[in-house]
Amino acid sequence: MRDGIIELDSKRGGEFGFTSARFGKGSYLWKDGTAIYVSMILSKRPGEGALSMLFKAILDKGYGIRVPTPSGLMLTILLMKGFKRRFDWFQGKKVECWCLDSEGRTWGE
C-alpha cells in the first residue's frame, strides 16, 4: 500500500473497515511506512467497538498504529489498550504520538 491519506470508503480504507457506516465525515487515516496514523476519527456510534475493530484490522495487516496528540477520551482509550507515548516526526513536524506496533509492543521496546 502506498503512503499517504486513507479516506473513508476508499479501497484502501475498506481494507481496514474504515467506512462511513462506522465513522463520520472528516475522518481520515494516514499511512507512513509501516505505520498507520489515526489523525482524525469521528465514531458514528461511540462505545460500540468501531475504533477497536479498526485498530485490530490495522494490527492484523502488520501495521503499527500511531495517534498524534490525542484528545482526552482518545487518550483514555489508548492507555487502556497499552499504547505508549513518544515524540515523532510527522509531516515535517515533531509531534506527540501514542504508539502500538503489530506485535502489541510499543516502538523502541
> Has residue 105 been placed in a domain?
no
Beta carbons within 8 Å of 29's beta carbon, 6+ residues apart: 5, 6, 13, 16, 18, 36, 37, 38, 39, 41
**All cell numbers assigned to 30:** 494516514
Residue 108 lies in a domain: no
97 CB-side CA count, 13 A: 23
pLDDT tens digits, 24-33: 999 999 998 9
Residue-level pLDDT at 46 = 87
Query: What is the pLDDT averaged over residues 2-25?
Result: 94
pLDDT at residue 14 greater than cutoff 60: yes
pTM (2 d.p.)? 0.87
pLDDT at 102: 64
Residue 100 and residue 82 in contact, taking contact as beta carbons nearer than 8 Å: yes
CA 33 to chain centre: 13
In a domain, 26, yes or no: yes
Q: Judge whether 107 lies within some domain.
A: no
pLDDT at 22 over 50: yes
Does any domain span residue 74?
yes
- Which comes out higher in pLDDT, residue 29 or 108? 29
Q: What is the DSSP string of 30-63?
A: EEETTEEEEEE--BSSTTSSHHHHHHHHHHHTT-
